Amino acid sequence: MQNTINTKFKINTAAVVTALNKIGKATVIIAAIAIGFISGDIYNNYKNHTKMSSMQNARKTDETSVAVNERGELMIIDRKTGAYTLYENGLGQSIFNIYANRIYQKK
């Protein structure tokens, strides 16, 4: 009698272990999917987050001067205070080409 109880218990233990393995595998898969979704959502929110920059306000030409220095860097100069903002040479060259093109088109 004791032997039959141990045999039934071993069979039930094996079934429980098999069921727990299946539940564990399903839990890992569900957790991986959830982590992937959450990280994608965080990345999407980070990517679409807009930041306000200091150039959001338009400046009139009577308030500022635009210049390109010898290195091709764009300078936007505030006429009242003399303070200026310096931008990299690629932007300066692009702005210079736009102005030069406008002047050439007027002639």
pLDDT digit string (tens) for 26-53?
Answer: 999 999 999 999 998 888 887 776 565 5
Q: Where are the beta strands (DSSP E) in the chain?
A: 64-68, 74-78, 84-87
Tell me what pLDDT residue 30 has.
96
Look up residue 72 and give its two tokens. 């091709």
Tell me what pLDDT residue 82 has.
86
| Residue with token string 């060259």 | 93
Tell me what pLDDT residue 35 has.
95
In sequence order, the 6+-apart residues with CB closer than 8 A to the CB of 63 are 78, 79, 80
Average model confidence (pLDDT) across the chain: 80
Tell me what pLDDT residue 24 has.
94
List of the chain residues with pLDDT < 50: none
